[in-house]
Structure 1
Amino acid sequence: MPDIPKLTHPWFVAVWPGMGHVALNAGVYLLAKLGMTAVAEFESGELFDVTQVEVKDGVIQPARRPRNRFFVWTDPDKRHDLVVFLGEAQPPVGKFPFCRQVIEYARELGVERVITFAAMATDMRPEHPSRVFGAATDEDGVAELRRLDVTILEEGHIGGLNGVLLGAAAASGLRGNCFLGEMPQVFAQVPFPKASLAILEAFTMLTGVELDLDELAEQARAVEEQLGELLARVEDQYERPSEEGEGEADEDEGGEDFSGDEEEAESESGPAHEGIGYRYEGPDEPVSQTSVQRIEELFSRAATDRTKAFELKRELDRLGLFKRYEDRFLDLFKHTD
């Protein structure tokens, strides 16, 4: 297990990839805007298998298992330091033993509260506000969520590690809660930053952490507009035959395909598939030179100013390339002393 830094009443936040990049986007935003630093990497042993290898310029790269990293923010007001755990994937088996190991390390850090982020897919429309659903490990935590105007998840389940980690926390005597950001089920494969924004708004009210959310709010408005226009075109296409009263829609016409490359993963709040984002470049096409230059420029900015890292994340999402650049992106948060 890695070295244990000295922390002040730390709270622990855990995120994994999932529907709409809701949890991952919220976690990465915390890393960028708080200037967090990577302090440790969790070795998961044989829990993860290797299902594919990367090819660069025709050369097959060495196989590697998904990585699990810990990042730390020191609270200048000495209230609660934050530890963010960011996992690249969820293990196909051994989820509870994996979570128990993570909680064991969290307890060694002196963690007092465990928080997970997740997505809740509903029939909401993109222009509607994203509600935040929540659950806690004790009645006091539920009452606390009610005071934050969080919609309590009265019944149901939280699938995957977002829920199992909190079960492991409760079993070890740690308090915890889950924030689930609402997103449209029809766009489950598309990054939906409005849900990430709603989660972080609730999170900052709970923790008292001051966080500039303007950049995430701007992204949320842009995506809302794009998805609203797309949905309107699709609905118009389906309604047009009945309005005209004759004929059938051309099989070659229809809405745009935002399916992306589906990954096998646990959904946070029920069965669903997950994609890696918008696909302007195409999943199997080489990245254009213009896009490469733009990405390199953003990496250079983020290397000298971590608060610029979310702008880079946003561009990688737009191109559907975050997974390809994930290691390099997270290495921006390494300790530089």
Structure 2
Amino acid sequence: MAERLHDPWLVAVWPGMGTVAMGAGYYLMAKLGMHLWEELPARDLFEVDHVDVKDGLIQTAPLPRSRLFLWKDPNEKHDLIVFIGEAQPPAKSAQICHQLIDLVRPLGVTRVFTFAAMATGLRPGEHGRVFGAAIDRGTLDRFRDLDLTVLEGGQINGLNGVLLGVAAESGMQGGCLLGEMPQLFSQLPYPKASLAVLEFFATLAGIKIDLTELESHAQDVEDKLETFLSRIEQAIHQVEGAGESAIPALDADEEDEKKKPKLSAEDRQHLEQLFTEAKADRARAYFLKQELDRLKVFRDFEDRFLDLFKK
């Protein structure tokens, strides 16, 4: 990379509970208009463990991709490198973390952060906290100055923790930010936790991020979960010892992806229009992702979506 970076920070996200980390990572990338910088070779990190079958024909399954995106701070305070991994490798966790740290360290990266979720007894509608654990004492003191809830004990599983261990061995600073979400809905996307993580991170890094779209999306999901939880509690109170038939089902847009309908011509035309808008203005990309998620076709369009961020 020929261009000089200003005190760059690395943020790394992988899929996890509540899609908290990925939701925050994609939003950060989209709203800051980042561009693709580098990609780690998939075959060095993953092995083919299955094939896909479509219309009776076997097709080689694509390997998960691991890409880095760059944003240059116009105020020259903290440039950001965001790493988005489509999957966590079942093995070679330390290898990918060492590879990532070795890649960004020559750029002047000294701070590394990962995002994750913390499932608790939180109820939808209640204020969610952001928990934090730091690599170094200085970052921990800064967390406390900003009233972050410090994670006093426990474990940080997966690459969210392994990367920070490798960063610590390399003498870097940073830590993990964990957005609180309801344990009851841990298998569903919970954008309110992504919002809380990004609000704290923006303050920590001293950067401005337009969070309007994420705030709206988070409130919409929160309202649906509050309604659903209320229906469950009413059913339990009304029918003592009731079986599954008495418990209301989630809305259609929360059903398993395998039940998704094929895209209509109108939906395709709508998506094409959103892709055109996002290509002209990357800040519109998050709205496009919301629609892809709503239609449950993001995986089908993921490469094309991320191509919007090529320089």
Q: TM-score, normalised by structure 2?
A: 0.93
Contact kept in structure 2, 1:11 and 1:111, CA below 8 Å: yes
Contact kept in structure 1, 2:24 and 2:198, CA below 8 Å: yes
Task: Identify the residue that residue 248 of structure 2 maps to in structure 1.
Answer: 255
Secondary structure in structure 2 of the residue aligned to 1:7: coil
Does 2:271 correspond to 1:295? yes
> Gapped runs of 5+ residues in structure 1?
243-247, 261-276
Does 2:307 correspond to 1:331? yes
AA of the residue aligned to 2:143: L
Contact kept in structure 2, 1:4 and 1:108, CA below 8 Å: no
Shift of 1:285: 3.9
Shift of 1:290: 3.4
AA of the residue aligned to 1:299: F
Pick one of 229, 233, 236 that aligns with 2:234. Answer: 236
Number of residue equivalences: 311
1:219-246 deviation line (CA, Å, top 9, x unaligned)? 111110011101111111111124xxxx
Using the aligned pairs only, state the percent identity. Answer: 51
Pick one of 143, 151, 158 that aligns with 1:145. Answer: 143
- From the superposition, tell whether residues 251 and 216 of structure 1 become closer, same or farther in structure 2 (CA, over 3 Å): closer
Shift of 1:281: 7.1
Supply the RMSD in Å over aligned alpha carbons. Answer: 2.2
Contact kept in structure 1, 2:43 and 2:63, CA below 8 Å: no
Counterparts of 1:92-111 in structure 2, within 5 Å, are: 92-111=90-109
AA of the residue aligned to 1:252: S
AA of the residue aligned to 1:48: F
Contact kept in structure 1, 2:228 and 2:250, CA below 8 Å: no
Shift of 1:61: 4.7
Write the distance in 2 (CA, Å) between the matches of 1:50 and 1:302: 33
Shift of 1:252: 3.0
Write the distance in 1 (CA, Å) between the matches of 2:27 and 2:111: 20
Contact kept in structure 2, 1:279 and 1:318, CA below 8 Å: no
Q: TM-score, normalised by structure 1?
A: 0.86
Write the distance in 2 (CA, Å) between the matches of 1:53 and 1:305: 36
Write the distance in 1 (CA, Å) between the matches of 2:147 and 2:52: 44
Contact kept in structure 1, 2:9 and 2:109, CA below 8 Å: yes
Contact kept in structure 1, 2:12 and 2:82, CA below 8 Å: yes
Shift of 1:189: 1.7
Counterparts of 1:82-161 in structure 2, within 5 Å, are: 82-161=80-159
Contact kept in structure 2, 1:281 and 1:319, CA below 8 Å: no
Secondary structure in structure 2 of the residue aligned to 1:333: coil
Write the distance in 1 (CA, Å) between the matches of 2:112 and 2:34: 18
Contact kept in structure 2, 1:191 and 1:278, CA below 8 Å: no
Write the distance in 2 (CA, Å) between the matches of 1:160 and 1:40: 22
Contact kept in structure 2, 1:95 and 1:164, CA below 8 Å: yes
